[in-house]
Amino acid sequence: MCKTSLKKRTVTKFKKSKKRSKYYGGMPIDIPDWVKIKDFRTMDDFKKQCAVNGCEHCRIEWMIEEINEFYEAVSHGNKDDIEDEAMGLIRTYQQFGNVSGVLELWKKVRNHVLEVFSTRDIFDNAFEKWHVKKRKKNQAIGVTSQQLIDISGLSL
Ligand SMILES: [Zn+2]
pLDDT digits (tens, 9 = 90+) for 101-125: 999 999 999 999 988 998 999 999 9
CA of 63 to the centre of ligand 1 (A): 13
CA of 4 to the centre of ligand 1 (A): 6
pLDDT band, residue 155 (cuts 50/70/90)? confident
Can you spell out the DSSP letters for 62-108?
Answer: HHHHHHHHHHHHHHHT-HHHHHHHHHHHHHHHHHHTTSHHHHHHHHH
CA of 2 to the centre of ligand 1 (A): 4
**Smallest Cα–Cα separation from 149: which of 94, 109, 96, 67?**
94
Q: Is 57 helix (H, G, I), strand (E, B) or coil?
A: helix
pTM of the model: 0.86
CA of 130 to the centre of ligand 1 (A): 26
**Smallest Cα–Cα separation from 77: which of 147, 141, 133, 29?**
29
Predicted confidence at residue 11, as pLDDT, reads: 46
pLDDT digits (tens, 9 = 90+) for 57-90: 999 999 999 999 999 999 988 899 999 999 999 9
Type of residue at 52: V
Q: Would you say 66 and 97 are in contact if contact means Cβ atoms under 8 Å apart?
A: no
